[in-house]
Structure 1
């Protein structure tokens, strides 16, 4: 049988309440007493009973990480960056619960008994019903990736529109005027933001906007490949393609390769996100760095602060993007 708090209390000659507080790093316990209790716990191989602890503390020791969808429009690289970022911050005393909002018919199971806090990687306005439910439930809450109007929630947002604008402006600076776009998942806020940045650059530089240069994708490599195949069929092909994420850019590069098109000498390609693979494509992919892992790390820090201090100040945090110039764009 494993050691209990009462066993440690008897050996330390203190109350079990003192032991419990020491094990939870309470500032009410003197450091000398805390060290003595921690040493005894280690010697006895004490393992906390989290079920009992949850009942006493009225906490679940679970943080939820929710996506708009885990199956539609969420690339594997985006998903892994989010989880890696959050997991690097959330301590081993918390369990991570990862789920897509679209898995739920209703949100009755999303409550304070099950979650100490929730991080939402929001990708679409369809998340609003979930956001309002969590707020009404009183669960500590952080929304990442998409700017929301609700002022009572911590919101961490990348500047996608400006990032796309800088990318297309760079393409124009290299002499390109026939510039296509492979858009992201229809209905996603990031898709619209990046398209707006693309259009802003064309308009400001008086570049003709051609309807045939708008190709729909869905943030995965396959859709990038198929969109590039449609581009190959155009009578007047573009000289450059802005892809709304790196996964689609990689798919587009493969399609160009399969059609014998040389990148960047015959066709320039730019992506968005700066995933790990962007360094290792041939040629290396010019892209916009959107630090999703860093955003997720900041989101995890924020949720822990809100859990610890419920009156933690609410703020909207904007994270800048950065153009990463590599080898996939050629000067005309």
Structure 2
């Protein structure tokens, strides 16, 4: 394996000069830099990142953590998060993806192992992890959930505002009997989306019926089961707000299984705007929650924080947007 010393010997320069040239140091003349880079290319030189990491005290690893990967995280949410982060993290970094619930304790998480951490936070239980990482002085950005810590960079969407828009859209289309399929219990997004649902009903003076609130788990199967329950209540709802698109797709399938149609017999609205949402039949009306965009901003802010550890915390909101398609029926007056 070719080393910096080998290149230095052939080029008849010091190994310090080679190292500086390979790292684009301004202390090296352009012709010398070009000569060394050409020689390194001809010799198929590959940097030894492990050795470099020891010298620079860098791991070249970014940690991307979820509250849980296996429990309550939909495939689309998981994919969009990784896609967003990965589009920003360049090839000089390794991306390490894990669920917090995989750890019995956090002793393996330290500044020698991670240059920085992005947390896609879904629950208050993450607070222990957040304060552990801050205590270890590892650069940290928290996505998706509002955390009241001034030191943090916190990036999230306003879920309650998004769900309010969804319910308002149903009301404006003449719906009064509106149900909700809630997300996973204990997740902040579940509470925020239900808050928006309730606020819209209160603002428009529509009665809140307990039988119209059914718990789900953010997956298609729970959406299917929840819709089955709603279809068997004494007065079934005319419209159902699902706390994510995966459950909305499950709910649509339950409606079809009962020999009914969407939106002719029952209107359905989702949340997230996953890739499948515009390819369902009918196309799903939903709230676009830009998870990929949130993740991109998270990665950009983390890299900036790694480069400038003294940066102050801030909170950034990324707006939701109602995507009106074909799954909501306009009721006759």
Under a length normalisation based on structure 1, what TM-score does the superposition of the two structures give? 0.97
What corresponds to 2:6 in structure 1?
A: 7
1:123-138 alignment, distance < 5 Å: 123-138=122-137
What corresponds to 1:244 in structure 2?
A: 243
What corresponds to 2:258 in structure 1?
A: 259
What corresponds to 1:34 in structure 2?
A: 33
1:302-313 alignment, distance < 5 Å: 302-313=301-312
Q: 1:31 deviation in Å?
A: 4.2
For structure 1, the 5+ residue unaligned runs are none
Does structure 1 retain, via aligned residues, the 8 Å contact 2:151–2:312?
Answer: no
User: What do residues 233-256 of structure 1 show as CA deviations (whole Å, max 9, x unaligned)?
Assistant: 111000000000000000001111
What corresponds to 1:84 in structure 2?
A: 83
Distance in 1 (CA, whole Å) between partners of 2:18 and 2:225 is 62
Distance in 2 (CA, whole Å) between partners of 1:224 and 1:231 is 11
Q: Secondary structure at the match of 1:272?
A: strand
Distance in 2 (CA, whole Å) between partners of 1:32 and 1:143 is 44
User: What do residues 220-244 of structure 1 show as CA deviations (whole Å, max 9, x unaligned)?
Assistant: 0110000001011111000000000
Verify: 1:326 aligned to 2:325, yes or no: yes
What corresponds to 1:205 in structure 2?
A: 204
Question: How many residues are treated as equivalent by the alignment?
Answer: 331
Q: 1:32 deviation in Å?
A: 4.1
After superposing the two structures, state which structure 1 stretch, 179-188 or 20-29, moved more: 20-29
Distance in 2 (CA, whole Å) between partners of 1:304 and 1:13 is 37
Verify: 1:276 aligned to 2:275, yes or no: yes
Distance in 2 (CA, whole Å) between partners of 1:32 and 1:303 is 35
Q: 1:26 deviation in Å?
A: 3.6
Q: 1:11 deviation in Å?
A: 3.4
CA RMSD of aligned residues (A): 1.2
Verify: 1:292 aligned to 2:291, yes or no: yes
Distance in 2 (CA, whole Å) between partners of 1:139 and 1:152 is 12
User: What do residues 273-310 of structure 1 show as CA deviations (whole Å, max 9, x unaligned)?
Assistant: 00000011000000000110111111111111111121
1:129-168 alignment, distance < 5 Å: 129-168=128-167
**Cα pair distance change 1:191/1:27, threshold 3 Å:** farther
Q: 1:17 deviation in Å?
A: 2.3
Distance in 2 (CA, whole Å) between partners of 1:28 and 1:179 is 68
Q: 1:29 deviation in Å?
A: 3.9
Q: 1:50 deviation in Å?
A: 1.4
Under a length normalisation based on structure 2, what TM-score does the superposition of the two structures give? 0.97
For structure 2, the 5+ residue unaligned runs are none
**Cα pair distance change 1:131/1:29, threshold 3 Å:** farther
Q: Secondary structure at the match of 2:299?
A: helix
Q: Secondary structure at the match of 2:272?
A: coil
Distance in 2 (CA, whole Å) between partners of 1:12 and 1:215 is 72
Q: Secondary structure at the match of 2:33?
A: helix
What corresponds to 2:168 in structure 1?
A: 169
